Amino acid sequence: MRKFFQELKADLKFKTAGPGQKLSEPSRAPREEPRAETAPRPRRGPTDEAQMAAAAALARMELKAKAPPSREAARSRVRKELMAEAAASEEGLSLEEKDLTCLDKDGAAALSVSGVYFLCPLTGAVVRKDQKERHLREAIQSYFSVDPVAASIMEIHTFNKDRQKVRAGVETVAKYLDNIYLHPEEEKYWKIKLQNKVFQERISCLEGIHRFFQAIGFEKKTLPAPGQGKESKQTTEEYYVLKEEMLTKLEDLKDYKEQLLSSEPMRAQLDRQPSVFKPSPEAALFELPNDFYNLSAEEIKREQRLRTEAVEKASMLRTRAMREKEEQREMRKYNYTLLRVRFPDGYILQGTFYARESVSVLYAFVREALRDDWLPFELLGPGGLKLTDENLAFNECGLVPAALLTLAWDAAVMADVQAAGEEQSASPLKPELLSKAQTLS
């Protein structure tokens, strides 16, 4: 006990040395029995999650260490992928059904958008991409009961894809109608010989042209062939003959001619499918359906050739021009792009666009969604790059097949708004859009 008090006294003397005094280590006599040390805590083993993460990291390191696959193995893999794509295109399933089938089998995440949709200008209906052509045909067919002339003109311009042939055909028909309008007293202009070479080569081949002639007042008749002698065998030929009552409606014929010449193909308009999502960390994650990719059944062989070339060039040194050419070719694979714009409050505006549309279209789309559309803003692409050139196409900016952009307000204008004491709404988006805000899954 005495020894314990001596040590305590020495410690106090050491700790309470006055200013200017040098502290020195007190001399302590060796202790007879050392103090017992606290036993260290046993180390806990790694958790199951940590072990799985470590195993995955080791596997990745091993894969990186392995030599790259042989060229033949890469070709074989590409060939298998393309065969699978071709088989899927020949199953007869719609694009939507194939997407859902893939999701069921692979257990993939939900699609960011269910597909690409179009708005029919004739009916106002919104239809999926793979149903667009059929719907247009049905809509035009139904319109015959409303305006047969307009419906037949729609057929001619919409379903004949060769625009040069269409132009040549309608200009020839316009000449026929001009002759009738300018010379109504001459009967030779009332008749059009169906077996005429010009009629056969330029007009008869056009879909919808015969319904047009019938709609504007022509009827098909079989007449004796002209220039036959009395002793020769009587032959007949088919003609389109203008009905007599139409001679009193020459102004109508002139109007039909103008409609035929000035009309354009009826095209279904791409529906933006505007959507608003609540703030989410998954805004940059996209799962796109097949509609967004420009891979039709007839392009499978071409895609195989391109992929094979890519494998062969993988080990070659490429110039900058070669790389840019390959990037442009890669961008042409996409017909559409899904774009999201994140607002300062975290809300996300989404829309579908053509890959070759200009950036100005996106600015207009965002402005239409704003509560106050006069507020100036700018859009920042991935990496914070400002999209200042609104004439550039989305695929030229690398915004295909999907991208997340950020909206930034004009700082000076917003400062003026705050200085004026104007009350700011909770969100800059229109209330009707906010009321339908969804949650990204």
82 contact partners, CB below 8 Å, separation of at least 6: 300, 303, 304, 307
* Longest CA–CA separation in the chain, Å: 160
Indicate the burial class of 409 (C-beta count within 10 angstroms; 0-12, 13-18, 19 or more).
Answer: middle
- 330-439: which CATH number, 2.60.120.260, 3.40.190.10, 3.10.20.90, 3.10.270.10? 3.10.20.90
Phi-psi region of 107 (alpha: psi -120 to 50; beta: other; left: phi over 0): left
> Which tokens is 391 given?
């004439």
Instruction: Say what the pTM is.
Output: 0.65
At residue 106, the pLDDT reads 44
At residue 326, the pLDDT reads 57
Distance of CA 376 to the CA centre of its chain: 26
List per-residue pLDDT tens for the chain, 441 residues long: 455 445 544 554 444 444 444 444 444 444 544 454 444 455 555 555 555 555 445 445 544 444 444 545 544 554 454 455 445 444 444 444 444 444 444 444 578 899 999 999 999 999 999 999 999 999 999 999 999 999 999 999 999 999 999 999 999 999 999 999 999 999 999 999 999 999 999 999 999 999 999 999 999 999 888 766 555 566 889 999 999 999 999 999 999 999 999 999 999 999 999 999 999 999 999 998 888 876 554 554 555 566 566 655 554 555 666 556 555 555 567 899 999 999 999 999 999 999 999 999 999 999 999 998 888 999 999 888 899 999 999 998 889 999 999 999 988 888 877 777 766 667 899 999 999 999 987
At residue 15, the pLDDT reads 44
At residue 115, the pLDDT reads 93
Query: How would CATH label the architecture of 119-269?
Result: Up-down Bundle (1.20)
User: Looking at the chain, which residues constitute the CATH 1.20.58.2190 domain(s)?
Assistant: 119-269
- Contact 152/210 with Cβ under 8 angstroms? no
User: Looking at the chain, which residues constitute the CATH 3.10.20.90 domain(s)?
Assistant: 330-439
d(CA 14, CA 413): 69
